[in-house]
Amino acid sequence: MYGRVDGPMREDTTVAPVSGKGVLRAWLAEMVLAAHARGEVETVIGRAPELWGPGVESLLAGGIFAAAAHGRTARWPGDPDLPVTAGYAPDVGAALVELALAPASATGRVWHTPVPPPITGRLFVEKVYAAAGHPPRIGRITPAMVAGLRLVSPVVREGAELLYQFEQPFLVDDSAFRAAFATRATDWDSGVAATLAWYRAEPERTRRRLVPAGG
């Protein structure tokens, strides 16, 4: 919902969505916070970036972890050499519980849920492949691939309009949350190990392909 930003995204970053999903999220946030201001409801908003982790189906899930488990080529949704922050699902869940139980002084505003320090897509993929015991193989999801995959992949179909986020530095500032709450972000290596274990727990998960066979 922040749109094409230049620099880290903070809770007070100008809301300037450039996608249908961004417009919807901006409208919902405005509606909820306005109701809070009128005293109709007590609310708090936890906002997370692209999700990944055990149990998550996203652009950072099947296209990377399932591929790494078999030594296939991972597909990164954008420029793999740009910095990115992402929300590890268990951390996001814990943060939302904290926000739900927070005192009234924390309500009526937006909080960014905790994220680990920025990493590049390439380094993230390398960590996943190292944990899987395979040499890294990384490719990009190109616009041409997206056009075709939208027809067969629900994940790509839902995420296609947000791919621009991976063609610019995607940096989330979580300093306000860290200063006020106890939940901390899981480090990348621990998250990678837990996510890979989840994929390997059921072999069918690792057979799913974001991109058809050929790489």
Model pLDDT for residues 61-86, shown as the tens digit of each residue: 767 998 898 899 998 888 999 999 99
Name the pLDDT band for 214 (thresholds 50, 70, 90).
very low
Domains of the chain: 48-206 (3.40.50.720)
Judged against a pLDDT cut of 60, whether residue 212 lies above it is answered with no
Q: pLDDT at position 213, please?
A: 45
The CA radius of gyration of the chain, in Å to the nearest whole number, is: 18
Report the C-alpha gap between 2 and 16 in whole angstroms: 5
Q: Who has greater pLDDT, 123 or 140?
A: 123
Phi/psi of residue 190, nearest 5 degrees: -65, -40
Residues β-bridged to residue 140: 76
What predicted TM-score, i.e. pTM, was given to this entire model? 0.86
Residues 164-168 have a mean pLDDT of 80
How high is the mean pLDDT of the chain? Answer: 87
Percent of residues, the chain, with pLDDT higher than 70: 84
Judged against a pLDDT cut of 90, whether residue 60 lies above it is answered with no
Percent of residues, the chain, with pLDDT higher than 90: 62
Least reliable range by pLDDT among 32-41, 142-151, 164-173, 187-196: 142-151
Judged against a pLDDT cut of 80, whether residue 180 lies above it is answered with yes
Q: What is the DSSP letter of 167?
A: G
Instruction: Tell me how many degrees the CA angle 186-80-131 measures, rounded to the nearest 5.
Output: 45
Q: pLDDT at position 62, please?
A: 67
Alpha helices in the chain (DSSP H): 20-37, 67-69, 89-100, 121-132, 143-149, 154-159, 175-180, 188-201, 203-206
